[in-house]
Chain A
Amino acid sequence: MNEELIQSLLDALRTVIDPELGHNIVDLGLVYEAHVENGRAAILLTTTVPGCPATDFIRQGVEARAAEVPGIAAVEVTMTWEPPWSPERMTDAAKSELGVAW
């Protein structure tokens, strides 16, 4: 049940893109953690570089999108840059779409 909710949360977050790379934040590996407990979602999020000018917008986009998921009543997004993001975190599909060498 909870697994399903987390899955639909992640699916919803796939509509949020990193504008520079032009790919969704889930498959880029920018969502470090996502938990749901009693309708409260806790999301640990990073950006490709610290101080990225899009940080506020990505965070707000995640908040807005997550709040729309049926079964989620409250959303808490925490930003972190520890550990720093690296391209290894991308899914294989994202890597091949972006032409990221491995």
Chain B
Amino acid sequence: MFSSTISRWTMLHFAAATALFLVAQVAMAAGAAYPVLPLSAPATLAVVHLLTVGWITLLMLGALHQFVPVITAQTGVAGISALVSLIAILAGLAGMEAGFLSLAGQLPLSVILALPLGGTLVLAGVIAGVIPLAKMLWQTRPLPFAARFVAVGLAFLFATIAAGLVMGLAFARPDWISWPEAFSRGLQLHLMAGLLGWFMLTAMGVSYRLLTMFTLAPEERGPLGTAVLGLSAGGLAATWLLSIAAAAGAPVAPALIAATASATVLGVALYFVDMVRLYRARRRNKLELNTGMARAALVAFALGVLLAVWMLVSGNDALVGPLAYLFVFGWLSGLGLSQLYKIVPFLTWLERYGSVLGKQPVPRVQDLVDEERDEPWFILYFGGVAAGTVFGLMGWQHLWRIAIISHLVASLLIARALWIARRGTTSQARPGRPVSGTPAAPPSLLAPNLVSSE
């Protein structure tokens, strides 16, 4: 019997996502994209989508396959549709990459059609993955607090892809969709939906759930939590819809958009207040590496918001590159890596030891990793991103590349730690509580290998 509570394809999502994260960092370090090339260069677009579709979207979908059942307290996880989704998204991403490379002149121009085709395949894959999640969310109405962020985030994922597809089509078939229009309007909507709607809101919801669970902090977030949700998710949805209406020519007062955007910023500011409150109210005094390092990601997020507000107020567009970098590498990737450091050993534990629990001594989840060994790599990671952001803001491109190399190395070493946790070559026995009996077979690295239990 497969346990009904383990998502079988989550680990494969994580493996693919991590590999693409490393590839994207290699490309940046090698000077094949931003910051050496401009932000709008086709090669940069290729790397940006390796990061956004390949790394963060797959990471989030993989995590949601496992954690939407936890968030909604439903049993039963997505089955084969999660695998179909993963394959379609990877194939679609490959198409998009080919399309961007043809724009960059590295592939024949006729290949540009792969951009909208790949985007369509990504859309199909996302639909296959989201249907079981949406079903679970639908059955759990009224939705628990953290799940509300996720529900809005998933809606924005579709909005992101739709806007991306329109732009992709405009690139490939300018005779169908008039070019300047699709870009000036589409890009803003695409960025807002993708980076803020899908990534930011989902990460906020997931962080609420995981961080209360792992630090033993009160799950009930009270009126402050309600304000965070209403202002950030409501404000962003309103801003996005008003922006579409404005793009379509409706008479939308700019002051109205400014008001909804300010509400979003206020909601995010309150989120930081609530996160400080959460960490203060935690019952687990000693933080583990994942919850300790999540604080660095939260700080990166807070600094990013300050930088964004400053950029909007000062109108200094030159900050957008370093800002996006801080947001993607410091907040989203930092939160992702730190939580992978808990989730990968946890899922590995379930697969390997779950069925022998109570029948023979088993290690703890923490015993599958070595926090002392890996803490320096997390410090190197966040230190590299912090330095990279400063160098980027100063316009010191060469130093920035060195900073990128340092967090690339750190990511590799963290990926190695996850690999070791997966393969079980670290010390498995808890001091004073050796694992006796025949150890259960190690799970294969990627494919699900859930032990059967009668």
Contact = CB atoms under 8 A, between A and B. Distances in A.
Interface residues of B, number: 38
A71 to B, nearest CB: 18
A55 interface: yes
A81 B358 contact: no
B357 A17 contact: yes
Interface string A87-102: 1000000000011111
A61 B358 contact: yes
B132 interface: no
B5 A15 contact: no
A39 to B, nearest CB: 19
Contacts of B141: none
A54 B4 CA distance: 10
B73 A61 contact: no
Contact of B362 (A17, A60, A81): A17
Contacts of B71: 51
B368 to A, nearest CB: 10
B275 interface: no
B361 interface: yes
B286 A51 contact: no
B350 A51 contact: no
Given A51-B74, A56-B5, A100-B285, A15 B358 contact: yes
B113 to A, nearest CB: 42
Given A19-B364, A53-B70, A87-B283, A65 B358 contact: yes
Given A57-B357, A60-B357, A62-B358, A51 B3 contact: no
Given A53-B350, A54-B350, A100-B284, A60 B453 contact: yes
Interface in A28-86: 48-58, 60-65, 81
B270 to A, nearest CB: 24
Nearest to B10: A53
Contacts of A20: 214, 346, 365
Contacts of A65: 358-359
A5 to B, nearest CB: 18
Contacts of A10: none
A2 B358 CA distance: 23
